Amino acid sequence: MNTHSTPIVLLTGHLGAGKTTLLNRLLQLDQVRRRRTAIIVNEFGPRGVDATRIEHEGAELIELNHGSLFCACLTKDFLKTLDVLAEQVHPELVLIEATGVAETGDLVPLLQRDVDGSRFHVHANLAVVDAVNFTKVLPYMQAVGRQVRQADGLVVGKVDRLTDAALARLDELLASLSPDTPICHAAFGDAPWEFVELAATKRRQREVEAGAHGEARHDSPPRDIVTVSVDVDRADRQTLWAIVRRLDRHLLRMKAYVDFGQGPVFVESVFGETSETPVDPEDESQSAEGQGGRPRRWRYGLVAIGWRISADQLRAELSACEA
């Protein structure tokens, strides 16, 4: 890394995680305001929405739409943007908000394709984690897991909506996915600049370690995460919640439509926090969309996301709740 090159702070995270909120908070910090700062916002769709929500007074804002920043369709545009910044804007800092499906592991090689390879460098890669919805998307969006595992720092937002116990479980999960990565709890994206520098220090340490071992940081998939479904309509309430308590940290999330004997209810468990909501049997507004966009009725059944437990064992445990 050329210490005289311009630092880039990369912001990643799944859709709706809070990247724009974090970006706006960073732009308010003295450590950013006193620098000539350029902002690159990458949205997957053709119409820029996030850019309209960015408070970029005094900073140069550039949008890249129609694809992921790190896919071939935008590589040339991104490299041209770097040319413009280096030759016309001369920024002292670049903040990049990537699209929610970005494959961040491709950024460094992309920067190495720069004209002289020394004008820009990644100072810190921050992944924004939605404390409420992270476990919902992790099993289904591979990019989300990779964003966390490749991050130099994790900014966990919406922490005000979790109990202390649930937040501790989330931290444990994140630590298993990305060991030794600093974590900052930021309810409204209010991460201090000191955390950015801590993440940057962690990045430099990993680069030294990778160089010493002649290999990059290993990025393995989250094999410990499993998803199962159980066909059940009538369930015993006490048995179900006893199972949830027994599974403890092995159950990241569970949701189901079941009948405890007084009609259908929607039940949910997230990090051990449980809830029950009565369901109107004739109400189709709580259902998912069927094929062709036609609404279909909700169906009895249970879906669960497990951690460090086999799918067969998790399915067997939950099946025992059937009345």
Q: Is residue 218 part of a domain?
A: no
The reply to whether 48 and 136 lie within a common domain is: yes
pLDDT (average), residues 72-88: 73
Structural domains counted in the chain = 2
The reply to whether 115 and 12 lie within a common domain is: yes
Torsion sign (Cα): 112, 114, 119, 121: negative
If one counts every other C-beta atom within 10 angstroms of the C-beta of residue 316, the result is 12
The reply to whether 14 and 67 lie within a common domain is: yes
End position of a domain, from candidates 162, 182, 213 = 213
pLDDT (average), residues 263-281: 86
> pLDDT tier at 73 (50, 70, 90 boundaries)?
very low
Q: Is residue 50 part of a domain?
A: yes
Give the tens place of pLDDT for each residue, 130-154.
999 898 888 777 788 889 999 999 9
The reply to whether 91 and 166 lie within a common domain is: yes
pLDDT (average), residues 147-176: 94
> pLDDT tier at 247 (50, 70, 90 boundaries)?
very high
- 32 vs 57: CA distance, rounded Å: 12
Report if pTM > 0.75.
no
In which domain, by residue range, is 272 found?
Answer: 225-319
Over pLDDT 70: what percentage of the chain? 74
Reference 60, options 90, 30, 87; nearest CA is: 90
pLDDT on residue 259: 94
The reply to whether 161 and 132 lie within a common domain is: yes
Q: Is residue 136 part of a domain?
A: yes
Bridge partners of 209, per DSSP, are none
End position of a domain, from candidates 147, 179, 213 = 213
- In terms of average pLDDT, the best of 7-21, 74-88, 232-246, 298-312 is 232-246
Give the tens place of pLDDT for each residue, 91-114.
899 998 887 666 666 666 666 665
The reply to whether 208 and 77 lie within a common domain is: yes
What one-character DSSP code corresponds to residue 285? T
Give the CATH number for residue 66: 3.40.50.300
CA 307 vs. chain centroid, Å, equals 17
- 80 vs 91: CA distance, rounded Å: 15
